[in-house]
Structure 1
Amino acid sequence: MRKNKLGLGAMAAVSLLAATSAHAGGLERGGYNIDLLFDPSDYAAEAAVTYVNPQRKLNNVRDSNTGTPGVTPGGDGNVNSRPSSGIGATEGYWVPRIGFKASIGDAVNCMADYSEPWGAHLNQGANWAGANENIETKIDVENYATTCSYSFDVGPGKLRVIGGGFYQEVSGFQERLAAYLGAPVSSQIGVGRLDMEGSGWGWRAGIAYEIEEYALRTSLVYNSAVDLDNLSGTLNLSQLPAMPGTPFGKILPVYGNVSLPDALEFKFQTGIAPDWLAFGSVKWTDWSQLQSIPFCAKGTGPCTPGLPTGGTNKELTSIDLLYRDGWTVSGGVGHKFNDKWSGALSLTWDRGVSTGVGTHTDTWTVGAGVSYAATENVEFRIAGALGVLTSGSSGATVRDGRTYGQRASYDFGDDLVSAISTSLKVKF
């Protein structure tokens, strides 16, 4: 086989395809991407943006907890008179990424990048039968990272040792209807809002092996969890009349803690014929550590899951996810048409992480991308994807003796997700 230069051609389109799968399980957006580190140029800068448009619709929605506040324990009132089918649950979103890579001598390469690996945006609005569960939830995670590698000869190729660190800032809010205990039915409901923010550090480590002659590269990279021990914010129940001894009518400072997931990803590519490349990846993400995220009033001691019991347990509200671990498997082929144009096709399966609560079921995605080398130093890329969000249901689920998802139940069918991504790379 003659020397395969797909690393400078079709792999440009292959790299961009990863961004179009930015609606995977859990809170995944852009995930982690260090492909720029492998660019053979001495210096390279890249800017990319992806727009993802999931079209999840909810049907057969029922307000499950219709008890009268102050009479039925935990009662939220009855909003089943509101619309119950064809409810749009998801919002389209942008995923940006920018990075710069530099070679330091023959063996060391380093890159710095900004990305948004995790996030979520649900926005059913207040006019649906599940408004006691959610009106709008939005979570954004910004990631600032530095990654380096050291390479040395091993056999016919080079072995890289990879390491780095990253800092993440998290912000978000959740709004839903809240019930006022003991109030008349006509005034028992108001909107409660939880605002939160936090930050934390993580690290990555991995290895890669490359044989340039065959466009062969394999890599295994681990990204650590990010502990958000400083998660804090406010719980705003000011829309509800004040009631002594309760949080109603108040804006309370709250705190909590959670760990964003660690992830392990194996990637490979290899030339299979002149100007043809096969590639694939397998990724595990520890979404199961995101179960119920409690928020407690500041100054009440350790914050643990469970409703307030008048003494030891001070949870005021929670974000209930009940995720399981995620697996993402992708494969495809790339082809270099000529010195200017390259393309790639891919198929991705992402295992759903929802376990009775939520809408994160299995996702199947087909992607296509092209790369255009305008000059020796400038590349333009564009990719698109179309996928299926598989059907399922959400409702009351018992976990460790506690019931979650009891505020509303609903079904959803097979829905579409689409994405388009573009990038510009300058190398010199």
Structure 2
Amino acid sequence: MANHLMKTTALGLIAACAFVGGAQAGGFARGEADTDILYEDGTIAGRGGVVYVMPDRAFATVDAASSSDDAYSDNYAIPSFAAKFRVSENFSCAITYTEPFGAASSYGDDAQDADRAADVAGAGSSGFAALPLIIGGNAVIESGFDTTELGGTCAVNFNVGPGQLYFLGGGFSQSFDYTEVKDYGTLNLEDSSAFGYRLGAAYEIKEYALRAEVMYRSAVDHSAEGTFTSGAPLVNIPGFSIPLGTQYESNGTGTLPQSLEFSLQSGIAPGWLAFASVKWTDWSVLQTLNYTIEGLAFGADVDQQKNFFWRDGWTVTGGVGHQFNEKISGALSLTWDRGVGTGADIFSDTWTLGAGAQIKHGPGVLRIGAAASYLTSGEQSTADGADFNATADGDWAYALSANYRISF
């Protein structure tokens, strides 16, 4: 009984810490599908929850001058749901829902003024290059995108030595919805469904709360369509003016990255466990977001790109957990995420301290977590593809999470 309780506690504690700490991983990473539910006891199990993240990234300087803009990074919530069905003793399947990637930014006056000035000088990447008569530049006011993932993953397990060997695999559908608001209009691009897959393997010895797992998630290519809606006359010359609210068909392409993660956990003493993971994410696949606004320049198409020029990301986590009694246990984790930015934006290294607790309450199990992240300083430059020059000092971000599981 004690070994079984320790095993269940180990899985729950790691999930409680990872659920909140992983929400602030590098690049545009947000939620991960809750495939851990495949290891849960019971013929049927369900878990739902949410993480709320409060990043506070602000520019310290813009164009070499001190900035008074508020933080440009917006708060966001990440929902998660998973349900497992055990078909037989050696075969289980799960359906999962989450928001794997996303971003949301709102820029202040200093950033907008610098963006317009860079356009006029021809140094920025946010203007319409095919329309040189734009007056005053074309600043980004707000930008962001959301994704949703609905997936199915199955696991087959065999007795191997003292434990169980698992093979996991499944597919998912991922949506993409992008919005960018600029001085001269709003771009909306959407891809309702693109497909990917995940494959993994694990080995588990319940008596020692030991599990080693490797999981691969494929890249997803998106081809999005939508509209550009003018917000002001693009050029103010006799005989040519685009009225407010004019819509143009638009389309764009981009890839969201593949990833590979190795995780390990083990009991290390009565009531104690340790866990660690290493994750590689192929963020270097995201060099630019390319899109076309059809017929905008005197009937000709306008090709645009948003620069990222990212490098691959690495996320390393380690932690310990302790079982206080049969109902309550807790854990601490420390995560380092290597920044993916190379100068076109500010995505620097992040250090996250996470705390999680698992509480048996009512018919199920409640998991709660909290995390504080330190975002290291960084800078962006027009010479490296940025819309304008800026720096950021070290900033703090915070996250809270809660989920609840019921099994039968």
Fold match (TM-score > 0.5): yes
Q: Which residue of 2 aligns with 1:108?
A: 91
Contact 2:62 2:390 in 1 (8 A): yes
Q: Does 1:378 align with 2:364?
A: yes
How many residue pairs get aligned? The number is 378
**Which letter maps to 2:220?**
V
Q: Which has the higher helix share?
A: 2
Match of 1:142 among 120, 141, 148: 148
Q: Does 1:252 align with 2:252?
A: no
Once residues 96 and 275 of structure 2 are traced to their aligned partners in structure 1, the CA distance between those partners, rounded to angstroms, is 24
Structure 1 residue 26 displacement after superposition: 1.3
Q: Which residue of 2 aligns with 1:31?
A: 32
Q: Which residue of 2 aligns with 1:304?
A: none
Match of 2:172 among 166, 171, 181: 166
Once residues 240 and 207 of structure 2 are traced to their aligned partners in structure 1, the CA distance between those partners, rounded to angstroms, is 70
Q: Which residue of 2 aligns with 1:60?
A: 61
1:113-124 counterparts in 2 under 5 A? 113-124=96-107
1:171-210 counterparts in 2 under 5 A? 171-177=177-183, 191-198=184-191, 199-210=193-204
Structure 1 residue 246 displacement after superposition: 8.5
1:231-310 counterparts in 2 under 5 A? 231-241=224-234, 249=243, 250-298=246-294
Once residues 383 and 370 of structure 1 are traced to their aligned partners in structure 2, the CA distance between those partners, rounded to angstroms, is 6
Structure 1 residue 131 displacement after superposition: 4.8
Structure 1 residue 293 displacement after superposition: 1.1
**Which letter maps to 1:337?**
F
Contact 1:125 1:136 in 2 (8 A): no
Contact 2:33 2:97 in 1 (8 A): no
Structure 1 residue 176 displacement after superposition: 2.5
Q: Which residue of 2 aligns with 1:211?
A: 205
Contact 1:238 1:248 in 2 (8 A): no
Give the TM-score of the pair, scaled to structure 1.
Answer: 0.83
Contact 1:62 1:84 in 2 (8 A): no
Once residues 317 and 247 of structure 1 are traced to their aligned partners in structure 2, the CA distance between those partners, rounded to angstroms, is 21
Contact 1:361 1:390 in 2 (8 A): yes
Contact 1:62 1:410 in 2 (8 A): yes
Once residues 98 and 28 of structure 1 are traced to their aligned partners in structure 2, the CA distance between those partners, rounded to angstroms, is 17
Once residues 295 and 204 of structure 2 are traced to their aligned partners in structure 1, the CA distance between those partners, rounded to angstroms, is 54
Once residues 79 and 238 of structure 2 are traced to their aligned partners in structure 1, the CA distance between those partners, rounded to angstroms, is 47
Q: Percent identity?
A: 38
1:298-337 counterparts in 2 under 5 A? 298=294, 315-337=302-324
- CA 1:172–1:315 in structure 2 vs 1: closer, same or farther (change >3 Å)? same
Q: Which residue of 1 aligns with 2:51?
A: 50
Q: Does 1:388 align with 2:374?
A: yes
**1:53-94 deviation line (CA, Å, top 9, x unaligned):** 01111022129xxxxxxxxxxxxxxxx9xx933431111110
Structure 2, unpaired ranges of 5+:
117-138
Q: Which residue of 2 aligns with 1:397?
A: 383
Contact 1:4 1:274 in 2 (8 A): no
Q: Does 1:355 align with 2:355?
A: no
- CA 1:131–1:175 in structure 2 vs 1: closer, same or farther (change >3 Å)? farther
- CA 1:295–1:214 in structure 2 vs 1: closer, same or farther (change >3 Å)? same
- Partner-residue secondary structure (3-state), 2:107: coil
- Partner-residue secondary structure (3-state), 1:339: coil
Q: Which residue of 2 aligns with 1:342?
A: 329
**Which letter maps to 2:206?**
E
Once residues 275 and 34 of structure 2 are traced to their aligned partners in structure 1, the CA distance between those partners, rounded to angstroms, is 15
- Partner-residue secondary structure (3-state), 1:160: strand
**Which letter maps to 1:256?**
G
- CA 1:246–1:13 in structure 2 vs 1: closer, same or farther (change >3 Å)? farther
- Partner-residue secondary structure (3-state), 1:94: strand
- Partner-residue secondary structure (3-state), 1:353: coil
Q: Which residue of 1 aligns with 2:6?
A: 6
- CA 1:33–1:130 in structure 2 vs 1: closer, same or farther (change >3 Å)? farther
- CA 1:8–1:297 in structure 2 vs 1: closer, same or farther (change >3 Å)? same
Once residues 41 and 295 of structure 2 are traced to their aligned partners in structure 1, the CA distance between those partners, rounded to angstroms, is 54
- CA 1:276–1:348 in structure 2 vs 1: closer, same or farther (change >3 Å)? same
Structure 1 residue 20 displacement after superposition: 1.5
Once residues 92 and 100 of structure 1 are traced to their aligned partners in structure 2, the CA distance between those partners, rounded to angstroms, is 28
